[in-house]
Copies of this chain bind each other. A is one copy, B any other.
Amino acid sequence: MLQPSLSVGSPIAGLARALDFPSRATIVDEGEPARAIYRIVSGHVMVSRFLPDGRRQIFEVLGPGGVFGVTPNGHHDSAAEALTEVRLMAFDRQAAERSSEFNAALADLLKAQLCALHDHAVLLGRKSAVERVMSYIEDLIGVADAQHADDDVAIVRVLMTRSEIADYLGLTLETVSRAFSQLKREGVIGYERHDGPMTVDLKRLKRLTGRNL
Binding site for B on A (CB under 8 A): 1, 49, 51-53, 55-57, 59, 70-73, 77-78, 100-101, 103-104, 106-108, 110-115, 117-118, 120-122, 124-127, 167, 169-170, 211-213
Query: Which of B72, B114, B124, B213 meets A124, CB within 8 Å?
Result: B124
Q: Given A106-B107, A170-B126, does the pair A53, B115 have CB atoms closer than 8 Å?
A: no
* A114 neighbours in B (Cβ, 8 Å): 70, 72, 110, 113-114, 117
Q: Return chain B residues, CB-CB under 8 Å to A49.
A: 118, 122
CB pair A107–B113 under 8 Å, yes or no, is no
Residues A59 and B121 in contact, CB atoms below 8 Å apart: yes
**In-complex Cβ contact of A71 among B53, B111, B170 (8 A):** B111
Contact A51:B212 (CB < 8 A) given known A107-B107, A114-B70, A117-B117: yes
Closest to A53 in B: B212
Residue of B51, B59, B70, B100 near A111 (CB, 8 A) is B70
Minimum C-beta distance from A78 to chain B (A): 6
A27–B104 CA distance with the chains assembled, in angstroms: 26
Shortest Cβ distance from residue A195 to the other chain B in the assembled complex, whole angstroms: 25
Of B107, B113, B121, B211, the contact of A120 (CB 8 Å cutoff): B121
